Amino acid sequence: MNELDSELIRQKLLNEGYIEVENEKNAEIILINTCSVRRKAEEKAIHYSREMKNKKKTVVMLGCLAQHKGEELIKIAKADIVIGTKSYEKIIDILLDFERKQTLTNAERFTTIELKEFEEKLASSLEKISEIQSLVIYEITDYINLKQKFLLNLIENIALLDIFVNFAYVSIENNYIKPNLVKEKVLKIKGLRHPIYEKYFEYFIDNDINLNEDEYVMILTGPNMGGKSTFLKTVAINVLLAQIGSFIPAKQATIGIVDRILTRMGSGDDIIKKRSTFMVEMLETAYILDNSTENSLVILDEVGRGTSTYDGMAIAWALCEYFAKTKKCRTLLATHFHQLSNLEKYIKSIKNYHVEVIEKEDNIIFTYKIKPGFADKSYGIHVAKIAGVNQEVINIAQNILQNFEKFTGIKIVQTKLIK
- The pLDDT value recorded for residue 263 is 94
The total of structural domains in the chain comes to: 2
Whether 329 contacts 295, CB under 8 Å: yes
What confidence score (pLDDT) does residue 328 get? 94
Asked if 322 and 206 touch (Cβ cutoff 8 Å), the reply is: no
Which residues of 193-349 form beta strands (DSSP E)? 207-211, 217-221, 252-256, 261-264, 297-301, 330-334
203 and 93, same domain (yes or no): no
Specify if 163 maps to a domain: no
Point out the domain boundary residue: 88, 111, 134. 111
Residue 393 domain flag: no
**CATH code where residue 85 lies:** 3.40.50.12160
- Tell how far CA 353 is from the center of its chain: 40
Q: How far apart are CA 341 and CA 262, in angstroms?
A: 23
pLDDT of residue 224: 82
CA pair distance 374, 367, nearest whole angstrom: 15
pLDDT in tens, 155-178: 999 999 999 999 999 999 999 999
pLDDT for position 162: 95
- Tell whether 203 and 92 lie within a shared domain: no
Q: Are residues 265 and 348 in the same domain?
A: yes
- pLDDT in the model for residue 37: 55
pLDDT digits over 326-383, tens only? Answer: 999 999 999 988 889 999 999 999 999 999 988 777 677 889 999 999 887 777 888 8
Residues 348, 321: contact at Cβ < 8 Å?
no
Residue 151 carries which DSSP code?
H
Residues 352, 208: one domain? yes
Same domain, 211 and 330: yes
Q: Is the dihedral of CA 7, 13, 16, 21 positive or negative?
A: negative
Low-confidence ranges of the chain (pLDDT < 70): 1-6, 16, 35-39, 84-113, 362, 408-419
pLDDT given at position 323: 95
Which segments of 175-301 does DSSP mark as H helices, in order?
228-243, 277-291
Q: Which structural domain, as residue segments, surrounds residue 11? A: 3-111
What does DSSP assign to residue 324? I
